C-alpha cells in the first residue's frame, strides 16, 4: 500500500509546482518600437511577446503596463497606463497608440513596457526606454514654434514650446496676454487658459537674430452638445425632415475651418447615412418604402461627438401644409363659404381643420377632395361686418401630431341688411305760450344694429287730438342726432327711424303730452349724499303704473350748449348713480325724472343737484343797526339767490371781542387760534336778512362778521370784522334829558329870531303837549302811528332788556328823517360839541314845523312831507368817539347809522 502511496504523494506537489510555474510565467515584451505621427500628435507603440514558452495554447489575458516620460523634462513620467489584451499563439504582435498633450516636437517622448498575466501578480522586467523622434529630429537651421493652429478644448492644458535654431535663443514669447523675456535656446510651458481667453488667441515667439517673431493661432472650443428635441415629420409622405436643437455651438468662421461642426443623421448602427449638415438644425431625406424609422443623430467636431436617437412611424408624423391663403367663394349678409388647399399627400388621410372667424374658432374634420381642396360654409354672421378668417389643419391621427401653421388672415365683409332694433329716442321741450319748441334726440340703443351705413334718419309727427291736422314728415342726414320741431300745446306722437342702403328700421315712438299748465311737479334741491367721483346720485319714487323711467339733464347747464343727456331705466329701478366726466363741482344740474306709460311720458320730479357743493368764497357785508347798550341788529342782503355754486342753507354771524373771550347767552362758542373764544350764531334760514344780537353789555366794543354757508360753515381767521361799541346806559338817560330840555329851548330862541313869515309858521298857537311816558315800545311803527299827533312821546330808558322792548335804533329805522334847513344851528352845534359822547336825539311834533299829511295853505313854499307815517322826527348824531376803531371798510356804515341815511329819509331830502 505504502509503495503505492509514496509516488502519488510525490506527484501531487510536482503537479502543483507545475501549475504554479504556469501562473508565474511571464511574457516579456520585446522589441519595443515607437513611431510618431506629428500631424496627429500621436505615438504608436509596437512590440512583440516572447514565445519561448510552450506552456500555453489557449488564450491568456495579459496586462501591459506602459509608461511614457519626457526626456527633456527631467524624465517626468507623463503617462502610466495599463492596457489589457488577449494573448494567444497567433497574436503575439501588439500595438497601442497615444495622443500626447505635449507636442511631440517639444520634448522627446520615451516609452517602456512590462507585462503580467491578469491571473498573476508577477510583472515582467521593464523593457528599456525607447525614444520617439523629438526635438533632436528637428532641423537646427530654423526656429520652431509648437503647436501650430491647434484647437484645444476649453479647460484643458496647453503645452507649447519654442525652439531657436543653432546658437540662437528665444528672446521673448507671448501667450495671449502673457509676455516674457527669456534667454534660453528652448522654452517649454504648460498653461491652462481661463475663461477670459477668447476663442482664438496668439502664441508668439521672438528669436534673437530674427526680425519677425514666429506666431501661430491657438483655438479654444468645446465638444459638441448632445442634440436635443430630435423630431422628424413629413408634409407629403415623400420627404422626411428631421429637426433638432443642436445645443450650444460656437459659431465662428475660423471654427468652420479648423474644427467644423457636423450633424449626421443615420440609422442606429450608422451603416446608412440619411443626411448630414454643418452647423444646422435640420436635414431632410427621401422616404424609402418603410414607415418605421429608427434614426441616430450624431453631432461632432474635432474635439468629440455626441448622439441622440429617435424612433417614429412616418404615418403619425404628417404635418400638412396649406398652400396660399383661403379664399371666399360665396358671401351675403349672413353667410360665407371659405375654400383652401393643402399640399398633396402621398397617402389616404383625413384631416382636422380649425377656422378662426374673428374671435370664434370652429373645428371641422374633412377628407380632402382629389386635388386636396377644402370647403367650409359658415352662416349666422352679422350683416355689414368685416370678418377676418384664417385656417390651419392637421392630420386626423392618434396621437395627434401637429397643426400646420395658420394661413395668412383674409378679410371679407358681409353685405348690408335692413337696420334691426329700435332707436333710443327722447326729447327736450321748451314751452312758450302757444308754441313748444321740441328737440327730438335719438341714438342707437343696445339692441339696435345699423347693419350697414345709416344714410338718413326719418321723423314723422302728428297731432293726436286733431286727426284732421296734417301729418309731418322729415328726414335728416346720418350725421345728425336731433331735430328741432315746433309743436302746439296738444299732444303729439313722434316717430323716428333709421335707413341704410337696404331698408329702414322699425320706428320708435314717443308721445309728447299736451302742455299741462297746472301740472305741479315736485321740485327739490337735494344734497350731495351718495355721490361719488364723477357720479351724481339720483333717486325717485317708483309707481307701479310706469313701465320705464327716464332721467334727463344737461351736462353743460351753463353756456349755450346744454349737452342734453338722458338715461332709461326699467320698471324696478328707483335710483342711479349718473356718471359723467362733464360733472364739475359747484355747478348746479337739474335732473328731470319721467315715468313712461304706453309711450307717454310724465314728468315726475325735478331735482337740482350738485356733484359737490362749494361754500361762498367771501364773507358778506352787513349793516349794524339799532345799537343799544344791550342789543343790536345785523342786517344783510339775501345771498341764496345770488350764489349758484351750492345751495345757501343759512348764515353764520361771528361776534368777537378785543383780546377777550366772548361768551354771550344764546351764542355758540367757537375756539379760534390763540385760544380766544368767539361767539357764533347759526341762522338756518337762507331767506333771513336780519338778526338781533342780545345780551350784550353796555359800553363794550364788539366785532361782527357774517358768512353765508351751503353745507359746512367754515370760519377762517382772516376775516375782517366790523366793530361796534354799545352805548353807555347812564349817558343814555342824560342825553334824553338833554334832548327834552335844552333843544326845545334852543329852538324857541331860534324861532323868536326868524322872519315873521317863518314865525307864523313855526310858532302857531302851540298845543299843550301831553307828555306820556312811553314805556312799552314796540318794534313796529304801527304802535307809534296809533298815537295821537301832537303828543310828545317820551322815551324812557328801558329798565330791563327783553326782546319785546324797543330800542332807539329800531324806531329810527322805521321813521323818516329830514335833513331840513330849518334848524341848521342845532346840527352844527351838535356836531362840534365834542363833549357829548353819546348819541343826541331830538324830536318834535312834526306839526310844529309845518309838516302835515295834507298841503298846508299857510306854507306854500315849505317842503311837503307827504309820507303818512312821518309824524316824528328824530336825529341822532354819533360822536367821533364812537367811531374810533372802525378801521374796516365798515366804517362808512357807522355814518350810515345816522338816520338820514335811511332810504325814506333820503327820498324826502330830495324835496
Ligand X SMILES: *[C@@H]1O[C@H](CO)[C@@H](O)[C@H](O)[C@H]1NC(C)=O
Distance CA 839, CA 263 (A): 121
Binding map of ligand X across residues 448-487, x = CB under 6 A, - = no contact: ----------------------------------------
Q: Between residues 361 and 520, which has the closer beta carbon with respect to ligand X?
A: 361
Q: Between residues 156 and 760, which has the closer beta carbon with respect to ligand X?
A: 156
Residues that contact ligand X, how many (by CB under 6 A): 28
3-state secondary structure 580-623: CCCCCCCCEEEEEEEEEECCEEEEEEEEEEECCCCCCCCCECCE
Task: Let me know: does 524 contact 538? Beta carbons within 8 Å.
Answer: no
Binding map of ligand X across residues 371-410, x = CB under 6 A, - = no contact: ----------------------------------------
Q: Between residues 189 and 801, which has the closer beta carbon with respect to ligand X?
A: 189
Q: Between residues 182 and 819, which has the closer beta carbon with respect to ligand X?
A: 182
Q: Is 689 in the site for ligand X (CB under 6 A)?
A: no
Q: What angle do CA 465, 468, 474 make, to 5 degrees?
A: 90
Q: Is 82 in the site for ligand X (CB under 6 A)?
A: yes
Task: Please identify, among the stretches 30-38, 77-85, 259-267, 840-848, the one whose residues bind ligand X according to the rule CB under 6 A.
Answer: 77-85
Give me the sheet containing 322-331, strands edge to edge: 322-331, 336-342, 373-378
* Nearest distance from C-beta of residue 677 to ligand X, angstroms: 11
Binding map of ligand X across residues 321-340, x = CB under 6 A, - = no contact: ---------x-xxxx-----
Q: What angle do CA 108, 111, 117 make, to 5 degrees?
A: 170
Distance CA 821, CA 797 (A): 30
Binding map of ligand X across residues 137-156, x = CB under 6 A, - = no contact: -------------------x
The residue with its CB nearest to ligand X is: 432
* Nearest distance from C-beta of residue 330 to ligand X, angstroms: 6
* Nearest distance from C-beta of residue 183 to ligand X, angstroms: 7
Distance CA 665, CA 694 (A): 8
Q: Between residues 102 and 870, which has the closer beta carbon with respect to ligand X?
A: 102
Which of 42, 65, 67, 385 is the binder for ligand X (CB under 6 A)?
65
Q: Is 81 in the site for ligand X (CB under 6 A)?
A: yes
Q: Between residues 26 and 104, which has the closer beta carbon with respect to ligand X?
A: 26
Q: Between residues 68 and 648, which has the closer beta carbon with respect to ligand X?
A: 68
Strands 701-709 and 722-725: antiparallel
Task: Let me know: does 416 contact 452? Beta carbons within 8 Å.
Answer: yes
Which of 21, 53, 80, 270 is the binder for ligand X (CB under 6 A)?
80
Binders in 163-192 for ligand X, by CB under 6 A: 178, 180, 182, 190, 192
* Nearest distance from C-beta of residue 337 to ligand X, angstroms: 8
Distance CA 150, CA 206 (A): 20
Distance CA 233, CA 242 (A): 6
Which of 430, 524, 547, 889 is the binder for ligand X (CB under 6 A)?
430
Distance CA 86, CA 548 (A): 106
Task: Please identify, among the stretches 79-87, 143-151, 199-207, 624-632, the one whose residues bind ligand X according to the rule CB under 6 A.
Answer: 79-87
Binders in 2-61 for ligand X, by CB under 6 A: 26
Q: Is 429 in the site for ligand X (CB under 6 A)?
A: no
Q: What angle do CA 67, 71, 73 make, to 5 degrees?
A: 105
Strand extents, DSSP E, 5-117: 29-37, 42-49, 60-70, 76-87, 93-99, 109-117
DSSP of 231-272, one letter per residue?
Answer: EEEESSSSEEEEEEE-------HHHHHHS--EEEEEETTSSS
How far is CA 843 from each of CA 727, 817, 862, 876, rounded to the nearest angstrom? 20, 10, 19, 10
Nearest to 683 by CA among 660, 658, 702, 666: 666
Could you tell me which residues come within 8 angstroms of residue 450 by beta carbon, excluding any fewer than 6 positions away?
A: 384, 419, 444, 498, 500
Q: Between residues 126 and 254, which has the closer beta carbon with respect to ligand X?
A: 126
Q: Is 361 in the site for ligand X (CB under 6 A)?
A: yes
* Nearest distance from C-beta of residue 512 to ligand X, angstroms: 14
Q: What angle do CA 882, 884, 886 make, to 5 degrees?
A: 105
Which of 239, 311, 313, 437 is the binder for ligand X (CB under 6 A)?
437
* Nearest distance from C-beta of residue 626 to ligand X, angstroms: 35
Residues interacting with ligand X, by CB under 6 A? 26, 65, 80-82, 124-125, 156-157, 178, 180, 182, 190, 192, 330, 332-335, 354, 361, 363, 430-432, 437, 674-675
Amino acid at each position: 500500500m505504502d509503495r503505492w502511496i509514496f509516488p502519488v504523494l510525490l506527484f501531487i506537489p510536482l503537479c502543483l509546482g507545475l501549475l504554479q510555474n504556469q501562473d508565474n510565467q511571464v511574457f516579456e515584451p520585446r522589441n519595443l518600437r515607437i513611431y510618431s505621427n506629428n500631424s496627429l500628435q500621436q505615438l504608436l507603440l509596437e512590440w512583440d511577446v516572447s514565445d519561448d514558452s510552450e506552456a500555453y495554447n489557449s488564450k491568456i489575458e495579459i496586462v501591459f503596463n506602459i509608461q511614457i516620460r519626457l526626456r527633456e523634462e527631467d524624465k517626468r513620467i507623463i503617462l502610466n497606463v495599463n492596457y489589457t489584451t488577449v494573448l494567444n499563439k497567433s497574436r503575439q504582435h501588439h500595438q497601442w497608440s497615444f495622443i500626447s498633450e505635449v507636442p511631440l516636437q517639444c520634448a522627446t517622448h520615451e516609452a517602456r513596457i512590462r507585462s503580467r498575466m491578469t491571473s498573476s501578480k508577477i510583472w515582467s522586467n521593464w523593457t528599456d526606454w525607447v525614444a520617439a523622434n523629438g526635438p533632436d529630429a528637428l532641423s537646427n537651421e530654423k526656429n520652431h514654434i509648437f503647436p501650430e493652429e491647434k484647437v484645444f478644448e476649453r479647460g484643458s492644458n496647453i503645452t507649447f514650446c519654442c525652439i531657436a535654431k543653432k546658437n540662437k535663443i528665444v528672446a521673448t514669447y507671448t501667450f495671449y496676454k502673457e509676455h516674457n523675456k527669456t534667454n534660453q535656446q528652448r522654452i517649454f510651458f504648460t498653461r491652462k487658459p481661463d475663461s477670459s481667453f477668447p476663442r482664438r488667441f496668439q502664441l508668439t515667439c521672438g528669436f534673437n537674430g530674427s526680425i519677425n517673431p514666429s506666431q501661430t493661432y491657438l483655438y479654444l472650443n468645446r465638444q459638441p452638445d448632445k442634440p436635443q428635441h430630435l423630431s422628424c415629420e413629413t408634409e407629403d409622405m415623400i420627404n422626411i425632415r428631421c429637426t433638432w436643437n443642436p445645443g450650444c455651438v460656437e459659431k465662428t468662421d475660423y471654427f468652420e475651418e479648423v474644427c467644423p461642426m457636423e450633424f449626421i443623421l443615420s440609422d442606429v448602427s450608422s451603416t446608412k447615412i440619411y443626411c448630414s449638415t454643418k452647423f444646422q438644425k435640420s436635414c431632410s431625406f427621401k422616404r424609402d418604402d418603410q414607415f418605421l424609422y429608427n434614426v441616430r443623430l450624431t453631432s461632432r467636431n474635432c474635439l468629440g461627438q455626441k448622439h441622440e436617437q429617435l424612433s417614429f412611424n412616418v404615418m403619425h408624423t404628417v404635418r400638412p401644409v396649406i398652400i396660399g391663403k383661403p379664399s371666399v367663394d360665396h358671401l351675403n349678409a349672413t353667410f360665407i363659404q371659405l375654400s383652401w388647399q393643402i399640399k398633396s399627400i402621398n397617402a389616404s388621410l383625413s384631416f382636422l381643420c380649425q377656422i378662426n372667424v374673428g374671435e370664434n374658432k370652429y373645428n371641422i374634420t374633412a377628407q380632402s377632395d382629389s386635388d386636396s381642396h377644402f370647403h367650409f360654409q359658415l352662416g349666422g354672421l352679422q350683416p355689414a361686418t368685416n370678418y377676418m378668417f384664417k385656417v390651419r389643419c392637421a392630420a386626423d391621427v392618434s396621437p395627434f401630431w401637429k397643426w400646420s401653421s395658420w394661413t395668412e388672415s383674409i378679410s371679407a365683409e358681409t353685405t348690408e341688411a335692413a337696420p334691426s332694433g329700435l332707436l333710443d329716442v327722447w326729447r327736450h321741450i321748451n314751452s312758450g305760450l302757444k308754441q313748444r319748441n321740441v328737440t327730438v334726440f335719438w341714438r342707437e340703443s343696445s339692441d339696435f344694429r345699423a347693419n350697414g351705413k345709416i344714410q338718413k334718419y326719418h321723423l314723422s309727427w302728428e297731432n293726436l287730438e286733431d286727426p284732421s291736422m296734417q301729418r309731418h314728415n322729415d328726414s335728416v342726414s346720418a350725421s345728425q342726432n336731433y331735430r328741432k320741431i315746433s309743436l302746439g300745446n296738444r299732444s303729439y306722437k313722434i316717430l323716428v327711424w333709421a335707413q341704410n342702403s337696404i331698408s329702414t328700421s322699425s320706428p320708435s315712438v314717443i308721445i309728447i303730452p299736451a302742455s299741462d299748465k297746472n301740472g305741479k311737479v315736485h321740485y327739490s334741491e337735494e344734497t350731495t349724499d351718495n355721490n361719488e367721483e364723477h357720479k351724481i346720485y339720483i333717486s325717485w319714487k317708483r309707481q307701479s303704473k310706469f313701465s320705464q323711467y327716464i332721467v334727463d339733464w344737461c351736462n353743460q347747464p351753463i353756456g349755450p350748449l346744454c349737452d342734453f343727456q338722458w338715461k332709461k331705466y326699467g320698471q324696478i329701478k328707483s335710483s342711479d348713480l349718473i356718471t359723467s366726466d362733464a360733472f364739475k363741482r359747484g355747478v348746479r344740474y337739474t335732473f328731470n325724472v319721467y315715468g313712461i306709460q304706453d309711450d307717454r311720458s310724465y314728468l315726475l320730479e325735478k331735482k337740482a343737484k350738485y356733484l359737490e357743493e362749494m361754500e361762498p368764497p367771501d364773507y358778506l357785508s352787513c349793516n349794524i343797526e339799532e345799537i343799544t347798550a344791550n342789543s343790536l341788529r345785523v342786517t344783510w342782503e339775501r345771498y341764496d339767490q345770488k350764489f349758484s355754486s351750492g345751495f345757501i342753507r343759512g348764515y353764520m354771524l361771528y361776534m368777537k371781542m378785543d383780546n377777550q373771550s366772548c361768551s354771550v347767552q344764546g351764542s355758540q362758542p367757537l375756539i379760534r387760534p390763540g385760544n380766544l373764544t368767539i361767539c357764533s350764531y347759526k341762522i338756518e334760514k337762507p331767506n333771513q336778512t336780519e338778526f338781533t344780537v342780545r345780551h350784550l353789555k353796555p359800553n363794550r366794543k364788539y366785532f361782527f362778521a357774517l358768512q353765508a354757508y351751503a353745507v359746512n360753515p367754515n370760519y377762517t381767521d382772516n376775516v375782517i370784522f366790523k366793530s361796534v361799541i354799545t352805548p353807555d346806559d347812564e349817558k343814555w338817560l342824560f342825553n334824553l334829558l338833554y334832548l327834552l330840555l335844552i333843544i326845545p329851548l334852543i329852538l324857541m330862541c331860534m324861532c323868536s329870531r326868524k322872519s315873521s313869515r317863518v314865525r307864523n309858521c313855526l310858532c302857531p298857537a302851540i298845543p299843550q303837549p301831553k307828555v306820556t311816558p312811553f314805556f312799552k315800545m314796540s318794534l313796529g311803527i304801527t304802535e307809534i302811528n296809533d298815537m295821537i299827533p301832537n303828543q310828545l312821546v317820551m322815551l324812557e330808558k328801558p329798565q330791563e332788556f327783553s326782546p319785546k322792548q324797543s330800542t332807539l335804533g329800531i324806531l329810527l329805522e322805521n321813521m323818516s328823517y329830514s335833513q331840513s334847513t330849518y334848524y341848521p344851528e342845532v346840527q352844527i352845534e351838535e356836531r362840534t360839541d365834542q363833549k357829548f359822547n353819546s348819541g343826541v336825539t331830538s324830536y318834535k311834533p312834526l306839526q310844529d314845523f309845518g309838516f302835515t299829511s295834507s298841503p298846508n295853505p299857510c306854507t306854500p313854499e315849505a317842503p311837503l312831507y307827504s309820507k303818512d307815517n312821518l309824524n316824528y322826527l328824530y336825529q341822532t348824531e354819533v360822536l367821533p368817539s364812537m367811531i374810533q376803531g372802525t378801521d374796516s371798510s365798515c366804517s362808512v356804515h357807522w355814518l350810515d347809522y345816522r338816520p338820514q341815511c335811511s332810504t325814506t329819509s333820503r327820498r324826502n331830502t330830495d324835496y
